[in-house]
Structure 1
Amino acid sequence: MKKKSYLLCFLLLALNSFNCSNVTEKKRDPKKILFLGESTTNGLGATQISNNYVSRTIEGFRNLSLPIEYKVIAKNGMTSSWGVLQIEDVIRYRPDFFIIEFAINDEELSDSEVLSNYLTFKSLTPFTRTIILDLYSSNQYRKFLSTGSKRITSLHGLAGFPNQIDTEPCLPKDWDIYLIDGVHPNDLGYGIVSDCLNRTLYPLLLDSILIQQILIPQ
């Protein structure tokens, strides 16, 4: 009888240990963030590339020991079309969060191409939450915004992105003073944007332990 009791206790302990280890493993799964960054991803406007909002956002999560993997696509002033060209990489990566800047460089694209690009991004929403960054609400580019990147709002609508999170309310009303050329934020501006992203994403990233940096091969 004692042997059966010992065996039963052993099996229960083993089963309990297995279940606990499984739960622990699940909690360690990192969240994946994809930045469609455009020119500001490359640090233009910041004194150092480490001061741009992507670097500072990830650094903020690192300081909190949050488990993050991230990729950056569309840099060096490229249009949203660059993100579409790499859409297969995006789909394979399956990000939990897709952070898109309204691209100042999309001014050179037709309305139909811009709309097509964002409809392509929308197709990713079954497995990702889209975060829209509007960093260009300056007086200098107000006219462009009414006919340029903001075309997405009128042609398609931000509401067209299910699970969309808009960070624009995080930006101060005097945002213009943080832009060095009407487009690129200065170091303080990048800090505001990264703080905004950290506050937005933090509640969704609480089960964290590890950060890994993954860049798409150039």
Structure 2
Amino acid sequence: MNEVEGIKRIKKLIDKAKAGEELVLGFFGGSITQGSLSSKPELCYAHRVFDWFKKEFPNAKFHYVNAGIGGTSSYFGVSRVYKDLLMYRPDFVIVDFSVNDEEAELFKETYEGLIRRIWYSDTEPAMLLLNNVYYDDGRTAEDIHLEVGKHYGIPNVSIKDTIYKRMLEGRYNRNDITPDGLHPNDLGHELLAKEITDKISEICGMDVPAGERDQGKEPVTANRFEDSIRYTIENSSPILLGFRADAREKEGHLDFFKNGWIATKEGDSIHFELSGARTIAIQYRKTINRPAPVALAVLDGCREKAVVLDSNFDEDWGDCLYLQPVLSENERKDHILDIEIVSASEADKNSFYLLSLIVS
């Protein structure tokens, strides 16, 4: 049984709940975790799992932390996990980035960095890995996520092997559970929650050998992202040449477009000096309010390899927290990054908004 440590942690969580302790339940992921297409927040899968704990263990006191942000991957997740989740000292965490991560080595590495930050955090939380799926074609990053999860012995819930499989067998029509082929409706969220609570109940009935406590396993990837830092106006002081710091107060983790830098005119620029970086990604807003400015990212003065940052979004579901990698190396080096507006006009309906740099 290669999930012994994860099973032990969940059984310990349940023992605490039975003893009437005060416990924090955390949910970390993308739009499905946030509750997309549930008719109200209380009907999303995360809140239903929270409600299940309250019903099953009425003598315990539970706190609910939903740190889902739609349209985001584990690359962003690993940089925000402390502020949005771990500072609340969770006793139990469900993680799901299986439909936002791509099935590529980069996301296997960012996902492992995220899992390690949670798994080895000081509260040693019980964890479940949730793997959702695109219902039209079965796409999911589940396989690379499971490689990571199995390495650390963390149990998982596969929607591809359960709800999606039953849909293919004709037990559900796709439109019964998801209007758009991805995000669950109320019934879909109910089914997700039941898979999770059934898994927890199954684990409660398992016998596991005592074994030794996990003292820290070597990573399965290069693990460059575990110590990622997200730089915003709160913790960095770049040189502003036309850009300005956004002075508005940020209200919660879903108040996305705050604590960044704003530019509106051609020639506006911002200059960062970064020490000991192996990876750098620029997080900026792609907006549906077009037209909008276009910028150029120049690393170490090399304009021949500059990366275009086009803030015009060609989707219609809303503004996007877009993440553009500009450096991926194995060796730590000092770097200079300049971002300059190269296209803007009075016809623009939105500004260029730089949310952060994510550096590891």
Scaled to the shorter chain, the TM-score interval is 0.5 to 0.7
**Aligned-partner residue type, residue 217 of structure 1:** G
Do 1:33 and 1:96's aligned partners in 2 also have CA atoms closer than 8 Å?
yes
Do 2:133 and 2:164's aligned partners in 1 also have CA atoms closer than 8 Å?
no
Give the match for residue 210 of structure 1.
none
Change (3 A) 1:83 1:74: farther
Shift of 1:217: 3.2
Cα distance in 2 for residues equivalent to 1:184 and 1:60: 21
Cα distance in 2 for residues equivalent to 1:170 and 1:129: 22
Do 2:91 and 2:126's aligned partners in 1 also have CA atoms closer than 8 Å?
yes
Give the match for residue 158 of structure 1.
149
Do 2:74 and 2:107's aligned partners in 1 also have CA atoms closer than 8 Å?
yes
Cα distance in 1 for residues equivalent to 2:92 and 2:29: 13
Give the match for residue 132 of structure 1.
129
Cα distance in 2 for residues equivalent to 1:149 and 1:172: 13
Cα distance in 2 for residues equivalent to 1:149 and 1:199: 19
Change (3 A) 1:77 1:130: same
Shift of 1:202: 5.3
Residue 34 of structure 2 corresponds to residue 42 of structure 1 = yes
Shift of 1:204: 8.0
Do 1:35 and 1:98's aligned partners in 2 also have CA atoms closer than 8 Å?
yes
Cα distance in 2 for residues equivalent to 1:186 and 1:157: 29
Identify which of 53, 76, 85 aligns with 1:82: 76
Residue 118 of structure 2 corresponds to residue 118 of structure 1 = no
Give the match for residue 51 of structure 1.
43
Q: SS where residue 132 of structure 2 aligns?
A: coil
Tell me the alpha carbon deviations over residues 13-47 of structure 1, each in whole angstroms, 9 at most, x when there is no partner.
xxxxxxxxxxx9x9332232221131012322323
Do 2:95 and 2:130's aligned partners in 1 also have CA atoms closer than 8 Å?
yes
**Aligned-partner residue type, residue 160 of structure 1:** H
Change (3 A) 1:76 1:63: same
Residue segments in structure 1 that go unaligned for 5+ positions in a row:
1-23, 206-215
Do 1:106 and 1:149's aligned partners in 2 also have CA atoms closer than 8 Å?
no
Cα distance in 1 for residues equivalent to 2:26 and 2:99: 19
Shift of 1:85: 1.8
TM-score relative to the length of structure 2: 0.42
Change (3 A) 1:46 1:122: closer
TM-score relative to the length of structure 1: 0.65
Q: SS where residue 193 of structure 1 aligns?
A: helix
Identify which of 93, 96, 99 aligns with 1:98: 93
Residue 45 of structure 2 corresponds to residue 62 of structure 1 = no
Shift of 1:60: 2.5
Q: SS where residue 106 of structure 1 aligns?
A: coil
Shift of 1:72: 1.8
Do 1:45 and 1:184's aligned partners in 2 also have CA atoms closer than 8 Å?
yes
Give the match for residue 180 of structure 1.
179
Q: SS where residue 74 of structure 1 aligns?
A: coil
Identify which of 5, 16, 21 aligns with 1:29: 21
The structure in which a higher percent of residues are strand is 2
Which structure ranks higher in relative contact order (CA pairs < 8 Å, sequence separation ≥ 6)? 1
Change (3 A) 1:113 1:30: farther
Do 1:36 and 1:99's aligned partners in 2 also have CA atoms closer than 8 Å?
yes
The structure in which a higher percent of residues are helix is 1
